[in-house]
Amino acid sequence: MEAFEESGLLDDDNATLVTKDAAELNVSAVDGATADGGILQTRTYDLHITYDKYYQTPRLWLFGYDEHRQPLKVEQMYEDFSQDHAKKTITMESHPHLLNSIMASVHPCRHAEVMKKIIQTVQDGGHELGVHMYLVIFLKFVQAVIPTIEYDYTRQFTM
């Protein structure tokens, strides 16, 4: 090994892990990065999907938490939603199955119409869309209303 080091073939690799002791890591949080390894903490949401009997479509409910896992205030949740839809398509309402829980809800009045158009577009493209893909497509459609929330991207469909 000494001969290898002396030959100059051993270069410093900038991509190697730089170790720091715990005192250095606990300096301060910068731009959301925490003392636990520089991981960026973000807001999280619980998503609930219920069936709306009146509109006969799925209905999405959201409850948000801040970076420290504390419930978000109503105005903080509105910050994460498209401003074109906040307080119009997305409103704060009581969840139909959970007592005393006010959640953000995406109003389902146009869900059926939009989902029918998406399904028709897929069929016009010569593809078959199975029933099991309906909720995946529904979540992708709803993401237009809530662009800051990312879902699982492991499923794809072709239009």
pTM beyond 0.85:
no
Contact 111, 55 (CB under 8 A): yes
Angle between helices 111-124 and 134-142 (to 10 degrees): 120
Q: Look at residue 19 in the predicted model and tell me its pLDDT.
A: 46
> What size, in residues, is the chain?
159
Please work out, in degrees rounded to the nearest 5, the angle formed at the alpha carbon of residue 93 by the alpha carbons of 96 and 54.
Answer: 55
Positions annotated as catalytic residues are: 109
Residue 140 contacts by C-beta under 8 Å, 6 or more apart in sequence?
Answer: 151
Give the pLDDT means over successive 10-residue stretches in the chain (159 positions). Answer: 61 48 43 59 88 91 93 91 84 92 90 87 86 82 75 60
